[in-house]
Structures are given as C-alpha cells and as structure tokens.
Amino acid sequence: HDLMAIHPYNPLEDPYSLYPHSLRNIDELCASIVRSHRETSQYRVEELHALRWKLFNREEIQAYQSKSVDEMWQHCAIRLTEAVQYVVEFAKHIPGFRMLSQNDQIALLKTGSMEVVLVRMSRLFNTENNTVFFDGKFAGTEVFKSLACGDLITAVFDFAHGMCALKLTEQQIALFSALVLINADRPCLEDKGRVQRVQRSVEFGLTHILHRDNQESLMHKLYQRVAVLRSLCSLHMEKLRWFSQRYPLTAHSLFPPLYKELFA
Ligand code: CLR
C-alpha cells in the first residue's frame, strides 16, 4: 500500500488516460462507427449476395466499350462521386470527426475518401468471377476498357481481391474504414494533435474488436493494405492529371463539383 507514495499517480503517464475510455466507452465508440457504416453503406451485404450472378451481358459490355474516353470518364466520375458522398456522411458520424476544424475535416476527406471507397468496393466484389457491382450489375475489368487506364483498373481489382481474402466482418470493415480516414499524418492538418487523439481512439476500437473476435493477427495485414491504398490513390491522381490535360473541357465543366473539389 506504499506503492502510491513511491509511484504517485500521474495521469500523463497513464496510457489509458490518453484514451479516456472505459471498456463501455470503447463499446459505444465501436457501436457508433458500425452504425454509421451500416447507415451509409449504399448497399447491404445480403442485398448484394442475392444479386451475385447478375452480370452485364455482351451487348451491355459493348455499349460501355464503345463510349468515348471522356464520356466514360464522366460517367465513372459521377458514380465515384456518389460513393464519396456516402463516405462523407460516414465520416461525419465518426465520434470526434465533427469536433475537428472544417479545414482538417476537408484535408482528411481529400486524401482519405477515395481510399475508403476502395475499401468499401471489396464488399461489392465477387471473387469467383472478378466482378464488382457497378451501375446495377456486376462488371469485370473489360467494362472499364474505354477509360484507357487499364493499369489502375487492374490494380484496383487486385486490391479488392486481396481485401476479400481477409474475410473481414462488417464491423471490422467499419472500424478499418474509420482508421483509413482519421490519419494524423495527412498533409495540411492545422491541429495534428487533435486528429491524433481521434485516431488513437479509433485504433483502440479496432484493436478491441479484433481482440474480441480473436483475430489480432489481422492488424498487421490491415496496415499492409493501407500502404497499397496509398499507391492506388496516387495512381488515381496521376490518371486524373493525364485526363484533365487531354480533355480539359470535360474535366472542367462536366465532372461533378465534389469530385473536382476533392481531387482536382
Ligand atoms: C465503389 C463502391 C461504391 C460503388 C462504386 C461506384 C463506382 C466505382 C467504385 C464502386 C469502385 C471504383 C470504380 C468506380 C467507378 C470507376 C472506378 C470502379 C464500386 C475505377 C477505379 C476507375 C477510376 C477512374 C475514374 C475517376 C474515371 O459503393
């Protein structure tokens, strides 16, 4: 009982005071991230499972392939922007996100929203035939041929395949998505410290559910995926710069404003 005198309690040295969470708070944090994921996930897994074999037929694939480069880019930019809008809604409901300055919220979304779209894409992916649910049916890489960025499409499909192999639960996907978004190392943050505190709480939440699911070894694999996401997003930006140079008018006047705001 003299331990307290020798080692007086210093809250700054208590790792748990960095994350002011009781176990109950962690459960609440996870539950609210999972709820937010569910409410903004665009499609439910059961719904998608039922549509698993609804593929585009030959004529429909033909129709996508005979679109011009700029027509197909515009079409995909619109679909991508819809998906991003759901991610923005998701972000707003991550505990702590709304407390960040508007500048920092935008900075996190600029770099993270595309990454979360790609994480979410794995939910819409059928590994048995390498197709993704796009425009109401399942589409293989050939559907995206007229975008003229085959390397990006292949890399994105490979990523989805790799994510599916991890067989994450919806809860794990929700926490991982939040972690991808709330990253204190993103450029242009005003209040890095505050973002760091939110990041730690989300990390703590993910650790908690992996522990509960007896799958702690997934943490390492998930961090490896994060590195792949970075490279996919820089490839996306590279393609966008290429496209904007070639088709400045489409990029300027026909892309959705949110797409331009986030990526241009
Ligand atoms: C992601 C999950 C969403 C639905 C959705 C809509 C559009 C899809 C996107 C998913 C995945 C990535 C996607 C995109 C359309 C084009 C884009 C296939 C399935 C590829 C990677 C091309 C990127 C280049 C464009 C900017 C032209 O719930």
DSSP secondary structure letters along 78-118: HHHHHHHHHHHHHHHTSTTGGGS-HHHHHHHHHHHHHHHHH
Report CA-CA distances (Å) from 256 to 85, 102, 136, 148: 11, 21, 20, 20
Point out the ligand 1 atom lying closest to the alpha carbon of residue 153.
21
Lookup result for tokens 């085959």:
150
For the chain, which ranges sit under pLDDT 70? 1-24
Task: Answer whether 143 contacts ligand 1 (Cβ < 6 A).
Answer: no
Structure tokens at 135: 């425009």
Point out the ligand 1 atom lying closest to the alpha carbon of residue 259.
26
Please give the distance, rounded to the nearest whole angstrom, from the Cα atom of residue 11 to the centre of ligand 1: 46
- pLDDT at position 14: 43
Whole-model pTM? 0.90
Report CA-CA distances (Å) from 136 to 47, 59, 108: 12, 15, 30
- pLDDT at position 18: 47
Structure tokens at 165: 């192999």
Please give the distance, rounded to the nearest whole angstrom, from the Cα atom of residue 233 to the centre of ligand 1: 12
- pLDDT at position 23: 59
**CA 264 – CA 261 distance, rounded (Å):** 6
Q: Which residue, judged by its Cα, is nearest atom 10 of ligand 1?
A: 121
Pocket test for ligand 1, best of 132, 159, 163 (most atoms within 8 A of CB): 132
- pLDDT at position 264: 76
Task: Answer whether 262 contacts ligand 1 (Cβ < 6 A).
Answer: no
ipTM > 0.90 for the complex: yes
- pLDDT at position 182: 97
**CA 176 – CA 203 distance, rounded (Å):** 9
Task: Answer whether 121 contacts ligand 1 (Cβ < 6 A).
Answer: yes
Task: Answer whether 42 contacts ligand 1 (Cβ < 6 A).
Answer: yes
- Do residues 235 and 151 make contact, with C-beta atoms less than 8 angstroms apart? yes
Closest CA to 208 of 35, 16, 45: 16
The dihedral built from the CA positions of residue 27, 176, 178 and 51, taken in this order, carries a sign that is: negative
Task: Summarize pLDDT for 49-93 with one digit per residue, the tens.
Answer: 999 899 999 999 999 999 999 999 999 999 999 999 999 999 999
Residues in contact with 179: Cβ distance below 8 Å, sequence separation at least 6, in sequence order? 199, 202, 203, 206, 222
Point out the ligand 1 atom lying closest to the alpha carbon of residue 147.
27
Residues in contact with 13: Cβ distance below 8 Å, sequence separation at least 6, in sequence order? none
Task: Answer whether 132 contacts ligand 1 (Cβ < 6 A).
Answer: yes
- pLDDT at position 238: 95
Other CB atoms within a 10 A radius of the CB of residue 253 amount to 9
- pLDDT at position 148: 96
Point out the ligand 1 atom lying closest to the alpha carbon of residue 152.
21
**Percent of all residues in the chain with a pLDDT value above 90, rounded to a whole number:** 84
Q: Would you give the distance in Å from CA 38 to the centre of its chain?
A: 14
- pLDDT at position 1: 43
- pLDDT at position 2: 43
Q: Would you give the distance in Å from CA 223 to the centre of its chain?
A: 13
- Do residues 199 and 108 make contact, with C-beta atoms less than 8 angstroms apart? no
Task: Answer whether 83 contacts ligand 1 (Cβ < 6 A).
Answer: yes
